[in-house]
Amino acid sequence: MDTVNDAFSRFFSARDTSAPKEEIRAKKAKLNIEKHTLEMLEASLAQFDGMIPQTFIKRVADSEARINTLESEIQSLEGALTIEAETLEITTYQDILDLYETEEGRLKLNTFFISRGILFEVTYEKELMSVGLNVKIKNEATELYTHEYFYFTKDPLKKFGIPDLSHIIK
């Protein structure tokens, strides 16, 4: 059971790798650099006696304008992302099955997996009567979960207490 709980924990804490999240991270990095630049410019201000050169004033003003623009863009992106974000309160596989039973639940699951770049790769070997499942995060080599199951019945999920799910989707 500890293995299952560990897998669930790793699986549902996967970093969100969606394009909007990556764009926000990139803009925040630029914002930090720009704020540091402004701090350095302000620290340099003390060296001037009386007259401050126009080019220096222009650099400070440009830096402040870039900071305001980046903060505005980040706020806009985060606002749009909040609307699209999907969080799931899942602690057991039964929670997933409960979501799977409704169209709205399946949409929530799909949104969650897609926004985090979680990929499911299923393999099927008819001759070996086996089904394989690999779960990983897009663009990462490490797999979150790998399992190969050899079945000998028409209900391969019955072993896990999961009935035939084909009746759910109409």
> What's the number of domains the chain is made of?
2
Residue 167: pLDDT band by 50, 70, 90 thresholds?
A: low
How far is the C-alpha of 113 from the C-alpha of 110, rounded, in Å?
5
The DSSP element (H or E) to which 136 belongs, if any, is strand 130-137
Same domain, 23 and 79: yes
| Token pair recorded at residue 156 | 């391969």
Whether 138 is in a domain gets the answer yes
Whether 106 is in a domain gets the answer no
Residue 6: pLDDT band by 50, 70, 90 thresholds?
A: low
Across residues 108-128, what is the average pLDDT?
79
* pLDDT digit string, tens, across residues 59-93: 999 999 999 999 988 887 776 665 455 567 788 87
Whether 6 is in a domain gets the answer no
How far is the C-alpha of 159 from the C-alpha of 147, rounded, in Å?
14
How far is the C-alpha of 94 from the C-alpha of 162, rounded, in Å?
9
Domain that residue 44 falls in: 19-84
How far is the C-alpha of 15 from the C-alpha of 39, rounded, in Å?
32
Whether 140 is in a domain gets the answer yes
Least confident of 20-34, 48-62, 118-132, 135-149: 135-149
Backbone angles phi, psi at 166, to 5 degrees: -65, -25
